[in-house]
């Protein structure tokens, strides 16, 4: 995916931290599928922990969470 731009977001917030406006370019998240995650599954299974961006499609998040659960990540 070297020809795909990284996700970008610019947010305008007020003094209280409330979002008033944002512009984003998040199309790259739609290109990640469970099939593409499966190519790297062995790396995920060896991880101590997994950080998952919630911008992914629900089926991708479920797939990664299933891998984490089956591999007991994070361990006890």
| Tens-place pLDDT, residues 18-62 | 999 999 888 888 889 999 999 999 999 999 999 998 889 999 999
Q: What is the DSSP letter of 5?
A: P
Query: Is residue 1, in this structure, part of any structural domain at all?
Result: no
In a domain, 15, yes or no: yes
In a domain, 2, yes or no: no
Residues 61-75 pLDDT 10s: 999 999 999 999 987
Domain-embedded: residue 76? no
Instruction: Count the domains in the chain.
Output: 1
Q: Which residues of 9-42 are buried (b: 16+ CB within 10 A; e: fewer)?
A: eeeeeeeeeeeeeeeeeeeeeeebebeebeeeee
Residue 45: domain span: 8-71
């Amino acid at each position: 995916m070297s020809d795909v731009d990284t996700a970008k977001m610019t947010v305008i917030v007020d003094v209280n931290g409330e979002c008033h406006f944002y512009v984003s370019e998040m199309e790259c998240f739609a290109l990640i599928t469970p099939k593409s995650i499966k190519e790297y599954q062995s790396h995920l299974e060896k991880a101590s922990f997994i950080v998952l961006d919630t911008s992914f499609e629900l089926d991708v998040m479920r797939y990664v969470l299933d891998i984490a659960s089956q591999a007991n990540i994070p361990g006890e």
